[in-house]
Structure 1
Amino acid sequence: MAKKKNTEEPVAQKPAGGLFTYAPAPESPAAAGDIASSYGHFIGGEFVDSSGSEALKTVNPATEQVLAEFAQGTGKDVDRAVAAAREAFADWSALPGSERAKYLFRIARIIQERSRELAVLESMDNGKPIRETRDVDLPLVAAHFFYYAGWADKLDYAGFGPNPRPLGVAAQVIPWNFPLLMLAWKIAPALATGNTVVLKPAETTPLTALRFAEICRQAGLPKGVVNIVTGDGRTGAALTAHPDVNKVAFTGSTPVGRAIAKQVAGTRKKLSLELGGKAANIVFDDAPLDQAVEGIVNGIFFNQGHVCCAGSRLLVQESVQDELLAALKRRMGTLRVGDPLDKNTDIGAINSAEQLARITALTEAGEAEGAERWSPACELPGTGFWFRPTLFTGVSQAHRIAQEEIFGPVLSVLTFRTPAEAVEKANNTPYGLSAGIWTEKGSRILWMANRLKAGVVWANTFNKFDPTSPFGGYKESGYGREGGRHGLEPYLNVEARDV
């Protein structure tokens, strides 16, 4: 998809109907605080230089400007980080749960106090709209640390036996779509249960993880409890393969998850994987269509579709297909694509040129296979990585766009006649992460939910998250759960008992 050059100031977009326009309402990049020109690793409570000389760059996907350089972690760097975590484990795990909780509470409060700074930094590094980082990501980040701080002194009553024990050193590898939130999902339960951590952020979005390292120091967290090593997949592979790691937690693509599973097989390492998805958002003829349209939009266009549980397949009952699609197209025509730091923006920048190329290739495959493509008219900025919100009709189960995870703002529309057909089509995927059901009948919701092969099923809503609720998938979407009481178990040796 060719990018159109535009050197003029951004033009306010006019919603469908032309009733009013939106003047630009940008957040200041200065609110992100000082971004260093280069970063090393965070090991043993200090920022240290890498043992190697290779450096990577992270760019703002909306402007293509380099934000900072950061170290490419080597095997020696990983060794140092794991050693620091191992040294810190004895004292950290020996602390009473109430004492560990104090650190987590302190981290949560500092995140709240610095939420504007972190939200702006996340939007600059990731490309997602500031409204999402400010109103969704950061509140959930703080909430996860608050929630697991509450569990730290109650582990004996969590249902995992009378004396659950921490595993040791946890290796955690997180993706680029929710950098700080995925960090919180993993670090908070690990620390609450008495483990120490070595975390590797994604190579396109390392900045909020490095800023979190500063928060750990501000909170007075003991040295070595949290360590952060940056780099690309080579660093992640060295970390997950390290012989002194007791637990591996990975969120990312299914192919990488398979490789990690093979790597860990035959070892004593505990493993949890949260991988890709191809969720079905199922709309019945008795659903409140206006509400369903908002759920569909939120399900696929939230975070530019960079969501593993995105509702990327719309299954609509034939009798309401035309009415629903007409309403959906009207709503898509009001979506504002542009500057992620503008508070009016609905859809920001695609995270990287590589991801944009994948989205473009799969949508071209959809057209080549006979599906009908539609996007609302909207002017894209001249620099950066952008993709219009897109839907496909005339999609069959055999189309690549119905089977492969696109991870972008692209919706495939299929139809069904009966609930049984809806279940069959929804389950016709190698993935099993999430699903949505839209109907006024509670009995139908329960009937469907019992038959859908998905780890999370939303009813008359979509993409709703809470730290008290477990999240995870089946089949090629991985195994293990994060969030809620269930999120403690992957970090505990539940067989340990007092003698």
Structure 2
Amino acid sequence: MTRSLSRDLGITGPLVDGTWLDSTSAGSQDHVNPATARTNGTVLLAGPREVDAAVAAAKQAFPEWRAMSPDRRRRILQRVEELMLQRVPELGRINTFELGVPIRTSAALGHLSAGWFGYYAGWADKLEGATIPPSPRMVSGLDYTVPEPYGVIGIILTWKGPIMSVGMKVAPALAAGNCVVVKAPDLAPFTVARFAEIALDAGLPPGVLHVLPGGPEAGDRLVRHPDVAKISFTGGIPTAKKILDAARHTLKPVLLELGGKTANIVFADADLDEAVTETVRSCFTLSGQGCNLTTRMLVHREVYDRVVTATGAAATALRVRDPFDQHERTLGMVERAAKDSRLVVGGHATDLSTLPPGNRGGYFIDPTVLADVDPRRPAVGPHPP
């Protein structure tokens, strides 16, 4: 059972065994668009009851998914990649609604996630064992290894980039033959829900993937559940400590991806313009909340004052706008360029009625060609000149 989130985010809740639940034990909350302060929709929150149901269904689906031929699992995951790439504009739009980040950033995260599914799909039929030569002291014997999936994997996603984390965490778990229960962040549940629809459309068996938007209570139950064989978590250190403490009761392994405050080290002979540009970009992309984003500078005293002044100027030059403004900005660039060149084709917003139904909520511009362009004028495209 699937339903579209492309036109109206509406109500979203847990996906358990291929069915979207219309009521939950943990109640509901409104989701507020951080860029506009308007309500996007209603989120039905999972509690321990929904976690138990999802884990039970995943446990039941595991033997069949594990026994499925690796090449068939590979083809399903490759189809997930194909559908994600087709729907990147839609995923980006939803991600921007729920996070308030620029549409360009959201689209990039969707492309990254799809790429991981393509990469790990290639591993599905290459997880092989090995035979190990016996010790010379042994008269006879045979040693060999056989990789085995864990079973049910619990994945706890961070709010700052859930669609990217889906690719990093869900794809390898599925490729290895595991079933997955995802606790989607209650602050950003919509792109994960849309991904789940895509996975089902790609042919993933209903019981293999479950999505539960919820808060700490749902996460705690997922970690402590005796039938969850492993936990993967992205987030902060205080929560990670609680997860480790809860996981010790069942001795389950835990994979932690934790935050930090990475620094750019700026020496006196550095390219100061580049150092400032990259640091400012990192600090204000996703509010600096990315594992590879540098949010501090350690600056040599000889150039410290110059760097401080330049960084202040670069930050002042940034403008806070509607995250969808990039669409209008690109159209404006084309319009200005066409005044002193020749517009061959395009140059206007796409007629959305001509697109497939799944893409009609996107922000598209027809492919555009300009001729007789002065080579000295700024570039026209989605990236700043």
Q: Secondary structure at the match of 1:229?
A: strand
Give, in whole Å, the separation in 1 of the partners of 2:280 and 2:37.
27
1:185 aligned residue:
168
CA drift at 1:330: 2.8
Is residue 2:118 matched to residue 1:146? Answer: yes
1:113 aligned residue:
86
Bigger RCO of structures 1 and 2 (CA < 8 A, at least 6 apart): 1
Give, in whole Å, the separation in 2 of the partners of 1:32 and 1:335.
32
1:171 aligned residue:
154
The 5 A counterparts of 1:195-214 are: 195-214=178-197
CA drift at 1:229: 1.2
CA drift at 1:83: 0.8
Counterpart AA for 1:154: K
Query: Of residues 128, 136, 140 in structure 2, which corresponds to 1:156?
Result: 128
Is residue 2:226 matched to residue 1:243? Answer: yes
Q: Secondary structure at the match of 2:207?
A: coil
Query: Of residues 307, 314, 326 in structure 1, which corresponds to 2:297?
Result: 314
Q: Is the 8 A contact 1:300 1:312 kept in 2?
A: yes
Give, in whole Å, the separation in 2 of the partners of 1:278 and 1:227.
33
- 1:364-409 Cα offsets, whole Å, 9 max, x none, are xxxxxxxxxxxxxxxxxxxxxxxxxxxxxxxxxxxxxxxxxxxxxx
Q: Point out the more displaced range, 54-63 or 121-130.
A: 54-63
1:328 aligned residue:
311
1:133 aligned residue:
106
Q: Is the 8 A contact 1:151 1:192 kept in 2?
A: yes
Query: Of residues 29, 42, 48 in structure 2, which corresponds to 1:75?
Result: 48
2:268 aligned residue:
285
Tell me, which stretches of 5 or more residues in structure 2 are unaligned? 131-143, 330-385
Structure with greater proportional helix content: 2
Counterpart AA for 1:40: G
Q: Is the 8 A contact 2:100 2:323 kept in 1?
A: yes
Counterpart AA for 1:68: G
Change (3 A) 1:196 1:164: same
Tell me, which stretches of 5 or more residues in structure 1 are unaligned? 1-30, 347-499
Counterpart AA for 2:19: E
CA drift at 1:71: 1.5
Is residue 2:211 matched to residue 1:228? Answer: yes
Change (3 A) 1:151 1:345: farther
Query: Of residues 290, 304, 316 in structure 1, which corresponds to 2:287?
Result: 304
Is residue 2:74 matched to residue 1:101? Answer: yes
Q: Is the 8 A contact 1:129 1:345 kept in 2?
A: no
Counterpart AA for 2:282: G
CA drift at 1:328: 2.3
1:435 aligned residue:
none
Counterpart AA for 2:96: S
Counterpart AA for 2:72: E
Query: Of residues 10, 13, 16 in structure 2, which corresponds to 1:43?
Result: 16
Give, in whole Å, the separation in 2 of the partners of 1:129 and 1:238.
34
Aligned length: 313
- 1:424-483 Cα offsets, whole Å, 9 max, x none, are xxxxxxxxxxxxxxxxxxxxxxxxxxxxxxxxxxxxxxxxxxxxxxxxxxxxxxxxxxxx
Give, in whole Å, the separation in 2 of the partners of 1:300 and 1:37.
32
- 1:128-180 Cα offsets, whole Å, 9 max, x none, are 1111112x21110111111111111112279xx84211101000111110011
Q: Is the 8 A contact 1:32 1:116 kept in 2?
A: no
CA drift at 1:266: 4.1
Is residue 2:65 matched to residue 1:92? Answer: yes
CA drift at 1:265: 1.4
1:33 aligned residue:
6
Q: Is the 8 A contact 1:44 1:85 kept in 2?
A: yes
Counterpart AA for 2:233: F
Query: Of residues 251, 255, 259 in structure 2, which corresponds to 1:268?
Result: 251
Give, in whole Å, the separation in 2 of the partners of 1:124 and 1:36.
9
Q: CA-atom RMSD, angstroms?
A: 2.1
Overall identity of the aligned pairs, in %? 39
CA drift at 1:325: 2.6
Counterpart AA for 1:90: P
Change (3 A) 1:235 1:139: same
Give, in whole Å, the separation in 2 of the partners of 1:300 and 1:344.
23
Q: Is the 8 A contact 1:337 1:345 kept in 2?
A: no
1:497 aligned residue:
none
Give, in whole Å, the separation in 1 of the partners of 2:249 and 2:47.
25
Give, in whole Å, the separation in 1 of the partners of 2:31 and 2:328.
22
Q: Is the 8 A contact 2:58 2:180 kept in 1?
A: yes
Higher Rg: 2
Instruction: Return the TM-score normalized by structure 1.
Output: 0.60
CA drift at 1:324: 2.4
Give, in whole Å, the separation in 1 of the partners of 2:328 and 2:217.
35
Counterpart AA for 1:280: A
Q: Secondary structure at the match of 1:343?
A: helix
CA drift at 1:309: 4.4
Q: Secondary structure at the match of 2:213?
A: coil
Give, in whole Å, the separation in 1 of the partners of 2:85 and 2:268.
42
Change (3 A) 1:97 1:281: same
Q: Is the 8 A contact 2:29 2:45 kept in 1?
A: yes
Counterpart AA for 1:322: D
CA drift at 1:264: 0.5
Counterpart AA for 1:337: V
Change (3 A) 1:248 1:288: same
